[in-house]
A and B are shown apart, each in its own frame.
Chain A
Amino acid sequence: MARLNDDAQWIILMGFLVSFGLFFLALIINQSVVVGQSTPEGVIEFPKNDIRDISHVIKEHAEHNGGTDDQVYQDITNISIHRKGAIVNYTIEQLAAHNHSLIHYNNGVTIYNENWTSK
């Protein structure tokens, strides 16, 4: 009766290790597709520049003694809805020592509220 040939078991074991390694590498590559899609989409949908910009322009307006009963307020709220698809609303309180402003921004995905007091 022929004896069981148990030569080269290490080679077979190494073969297993390599195949498992390749399997896990493939798994990681598979995941990277999902990451590549969702991350830039998330970044691009977040209106970081819009929020900074609207906050900046409102503060600039407040510092030049602007209010909410003037043409700039009408321009900002109306153009925001028509050209940016965002609801923008703000109050400006001109106090003796400083200006106080509440800024509200909502584009349907992101809502931003700011409570700002100038020095």
Chain B
Amino acid sequence: MSEQGQLYTIEGVAAALIMLLTAYMVVGATSMYTPGDAHISDMQLEVLGSDALVMMDTPANSSVRESPLRQMIENESYGGGQFRNMFMNYTNVSGYGPKHDIQFSANYTYQAGGTIMSARINSTRNLTGGEHAVRVTKWVIVNKKLPPDTGVLDNRAVLVEVLLWRD
């Protein structure tokens, strides 16, 4: 067996390793943004929003029967920024720690005499149509006159709908 060219062989191995390393780094440095990847951020936003709504629909402790979300809708006390403050705290837009840059627009939907009506809760910004928003919803049972003021006081199910987008 010829033992010529061993140095060349070592050089070849070294060259191959360098080429592999280069290719690996180049491939690792460029990430392809496929159309499907857009769903990943949507998914995260949806999870964040629905978790925040679930937290808002949980009573603070066992002696309080009604959740904050239910109280807000029953008393229509969301106008003064109560919904906004709570929601923004839970989605880490305000408060302590790292911040998100999320905007929202919240409504609740109810039924009155067979027609579906919607009432505005609160929003951080008006929708212009250019937003890439996701929708999260939460069912809440309230004891309320619906439509407000003119209906009969009864237990009703309303659907809280929040549009969320990053700005």
Given A33-B36, A72-B141, A78-B116, also A66-B111 (CB < 8 A):
no
Given A10-B9, A43-B43, also A75-B156 (CB < 8 A):
yes
Contacts of A33 in B (CB 8 A): 32, 34, 36
Contact present for A11 and B141 (CB under 8 Å): no
Contact present for A79 and B20 (CB under 8 Å): no
User: Which chain A residue lies CB-closest to B12?
Assistant: A11
Q: Does B35 contact A (CB under 8 A)?
A: yes
Bound complex: CA of A7 vs CA of B13, how far in Å? 15
Interface-located stretch among B92-100, B122-130, B157-165 = B157-165
- Per the CB 8 Å criterion, the residue count for chain B at the interface is 43
Contact present for B139 and A18 (CB under 8 Å): no
The DSSP consensus for interface residues of chain A is helix
Contact present for B157 and A76 (CB under 8 Å): yes
Tell me the A residues contacting B by CB distance below 8 Å.
7-8, 10-11, 14-15, 17-18, 21-22, 25, 29, 33, 36-41, 43-44, 49-50, 53-54, 56-57, 60-61, 64, 66, 70-72, 74-76, 78-79, 82-84
Tell me the B residues contacting A by CB distance below 8 Å.
4-5, 8-9, 11-13, 15-16, 19-20, 23-24, 27, 32, 34-37, 39-40, 42-43, 46, 50, 109-111, 114, 116, 136-141, 154-159, 161
